[in-house]
Structure 1
Amino acid sequence: MILQKRPGFRSKKITILRRIFEMKKVLAAVAVAMTLPMTVMAWEPTGDVNVIVAYKAGSGTDTGARLLATEAQKYIPKTIIIQNLPGADGKIGWTKLVQSKPDGQTIGFINLPTFTTLAAQSGAPFSINDIVPIANHLTEAGVVAVKADSPYKTIEELVAAAKEKGNLKASTNGNKASNHTAAQLLAKSAGFKYKAIPYGGTADQLLALRQGEVDFTCAKVADVAKLVKGDKPELRVLAVFNTKRDPELPNVPTLGEKGLYPEWYGSARALVAPKGTKPEVIQYYVEAFKKTMQDPAVIEAHKKAGMALDFKDNKELGDLIKAQDKFARDVVNDLYK
């Protein structure tokens, strides 16, 4: 008996073989995919980004923060809102910052060494472990300044008067804040006593000097840049806290040149996030602010404002915070004893 193949048998066989072949291709592709690292969607802010500034509007920190925030909108496609929370020498704003939800929608500025000085105090409402570094923005040297019509034309004349009278007054940006520490460094190295009068922030302490309420003050180069220039300058800078003269004030000597405090002292203004913020969030902001601060237009804008742009990434900033914490505990605390 001769068996005959059923009609369509061959075509069905071919179809089954094709399906098996296609299935093998799919399984092979799946196997390859499983050996590759998983792709994680990049994080982005989902709404407005709040940036906490622990000083009042118009302060040095606020001015720099607003300049940076305006330029950063090229690289952070959300509205960046500066939230001023002044008071208690920065404690109010920084306490709010460390207590904020670590979701990337709230970040903030800290000032070094003020933040670490306050954090090192007994009973402080925050510590350096309550923040996650993002990027450094500005690093500025401190200055000693007097009113433009002050009788003290040089740092030597100011020191001599302070030693003789023993009661000169200096405005500060808060008790044990950065500019208070600068005045302490000056007084200790020169061997005189003075009366420190705390104000709400740098803007207020400089206003007090301009109005003649105090005899001298210590601030930062950028804080006084516009006040020492022009046809009618309001302030005169007598010396700089640095190891070399500042390019913004080439005719002003360093304290070291005059046999006084010989090291750099000033302030770093940096961006941080609350503890618990995820690494991908931090990385997003590190890259965004790096692009911002390397933008030629941003560099030029900071130069015009007299601000010393100094980008440091999160790792470099972390090292700086630790160093400033050590400075606060080993040096600053002794200044107030």
Structure 2
Amino acid sequence: MKMKRYLSLLLAGTLALALTACGGSAKTDPGTSNQPSTSDENWAPKENVTMIVSYKAGSGTDNTARVLAAYAEKYIGKPVIIENLEGGSGSIGWTALSQAAPDGYTLGFINLPNFNATISEGLATYTVDSFAPICNHVTETSVVLVKADSQFNTLEDLVKFAKDNPGKLKASTNGNRASNHIGAQVLATSAGFEYTDIPYGGTADQLLALRQGEVDFSVAKVADFASFTSEVKVLAVYNQERLEGYPDVPTMGELGYYDQWLGSSRCIVAPAGTPENVIKFYEDAFQKLMEDADYLKAAEAAGMETDYKNSADTAALIKQQQDFTESLADVWGD
């Protein structure tokens, strides 16, 4: 009798341990959750990936993002869906990105130095540390633009008019103290003239205003006007050397003005807290994508300057641009 009772208790204990083990296994099965495991070196997304673009459809950033997304599934395994969240000089989209779940399913573009300016100007609830850098996508040089039929055929023409008519010259920009506003202000400061700044919601609207004759000049990046190059004239480039695509256009330095590179970088980031294995997956995938021959052909056709940088170098770039935007007091006259 005692022996039967002992065997019964032993059997019950064994069954309990077996059930507990089965239950634990079910709870940790990675196939039942989208949450990435920090120990899974082979992590890959199981669903579509959202890519937040903080500017409207048709903007320079949106155009470059869509070229990238068109080739993404080949290397990521799932489609990358662009979500435009424009407004607030980009801060609306970047706020949403900073607050997204760090699960590998929401990525986004941040535009340097626009992104940095929203922080230094107090427009943001996020900081540089609110994001996990993945890679840089493109780096683009700024240029001075006028309408194709403008009275200004050279930068010297524009500067002379501005000096003879203080404050009359009007420039459209992509937002207060955003990248293209910085470019216009750097030109005015180094050339010694006054102008009237008219901020628009983004680069697409800024350049539409230029093409419609609402303003006299703009500063933008090459990819921003790739689809309507015949409607504008390029008067100068913000670089130490002339651009390959515009060999007849002088640099600002050649003309005696600002002699350093100025432009924009567009980086791909994830919300802070995204596991390292997920960042590594995307870092590798985007590097392969940006070396793809078909992608590179499409990028060239779109006027994009692909400039892959890994996660560490992108983090350093974001920090450097934050320091740059916080050092512009003299340019703004603060």
- Pick the TM interval, shorter chain: 0.7 to 0.9
Structure 1 position 123, deviation (Å): 6.0
**One-letter code of the match for 1:168?**
L
Distance 1:332 1:74 in 2: 45
Matches within 5 A, 1:142-291: 142-166=142-166, 167-228=168-229, 233-291=230-288
Structure 1 position 126, deviation (Å): 1.1
Q: Deviations over 1:44-74 (max 9, x none)?
A: 1121100000000000000000000111111
Q: Indicate if the aligned counterparts of 1:182 and 1:265 stay in contact, CA closer than 8 A.
A: yes
Identify which of 298, 316, 319 aligns with 2:316: 319
Q: Indicate if the aligned counterparts of 2:41 and 2:277 stay in contact, CA closer than 8 A.
A: no
Farther off after superposition, 123-132 or 46-55: 123-132
- 1:303 alignment counterpart: 300
Q: Indicate if the aligned counterparts of 1:120 and 1:127 stay in contact, CA closer than 8 A.
A: no
Distance 2:191 2:330 in 1: 18
Structure 1 position 124, deviation (Å): 2.5
Matches within 5 A, 1:110-121: 110-121=110-121
Identical pairs, percent: 53
Q: Indicate if the aligned counterparts of 2:101 and 2:271 stay in contact, CA closer than 8 A.
A: yes
Q: Deviations over 1:202-222 (max 9, x none)?
A: 111110000000000000011
Distance 1:274 1:68 in 2: 20
Structure 1 position 227, deviation (Å): 2.4
Matches within 5 A, 1:44-83: 44-83=44-83
Q: Indicate if the aligned counterparts of 2:186 and 2:331 stay in contact, CA closer than 8 A.
A: no
**One-letter code of the match for 1:160?**
K
* TM-aligned CA distance change 1:336 to 1:207, over 3 Å: farther
Distance 2:333 2:98 in 1: 27
Distance 2:257 2:227 in 1: 26
- 1:32 alignment counterpart: none
* Structure 1 alignment gaps of length 5 or more: 1-38
**One-letter code of the match for 2:170?**
K
Distance 1:119 1:138 in 2: 21
Q: Deviations over 1:170-207 (max 9, x none)?
A: 00011111101110111110111111111111111110
Q: Is the aligned partner of 1:91 residue 2:88? A: no
Structure 1 position 334, deviation (Å): 4.7
**For the aligned residues, what is the CA RMSD?**
1.3
Matches within 5 A, 1:101-140: 101-122=101-122, 124-140=124-140
Q: Indicate if the aligned counterparts of 1:48 and 1:80 stay in contact, CA closer than 8 A.
A: yes
Structure 1 position 41, deviation (Å): 4.4
Structure 1 position 255, deviation (Å): 0.5
The structure with the largest alpha-carbon Rg is 1
* TM-aligned CA distance change 1:112 to 1:333, over 3 Å: farther
Distance 2:329 2:286 in 1: 31
Distance 1:216 1:225 in 2: 17
Q: Indicate if the aligned counterparts of 1:241 and 1:261 stay in contact, CA closer than 8 A.
A: yes
Distance 1:139 1:73 in 2: 23
- 1:141 alignment counterpart: 141
Output the TM-score relative to the length of structure 2: 0.86
Q: Indicate if the aligned counterparts of 1:147 and 1:236 stay in contact, CA closer than 8 A.
A: yes
Structure 1 position 333, deviation (Å): 7.3
Aligned residues: 295
* TM-aligned CA distance change 1:325 to 1:224, over 3 Å: same
Q: Indicate if the aligned counterparts of 1:248 and 1:306 stay in contact, CA closer than 8 A.
A: no
* TM-aligned CA distance change 1:203 to 1:123, over 3 Å: closer
Output the TM-score relative to the length of structure 1: 0.85
Q: Deviations over 1:295-328 (max 9, x none)?
A: 1111111111111010001011011011101101
Q: Indicate if the aligned counterparts of 1:181 and 1:332 stay in contact, CA closer than 8 A.
A: no
- 1:15 alignment counterpart: none
Distance 1:301 1:49 in 2: 22
Structure 1 position 332, deviation (Å): 5.9
- 2:11 alignment counterpart: none
Distance 1:250 1:280 in 2: 43
- Name the SS of the counterpart of 1:75 in structure 2: helix
Structure 1 position 248, deviation (Å): 1.2
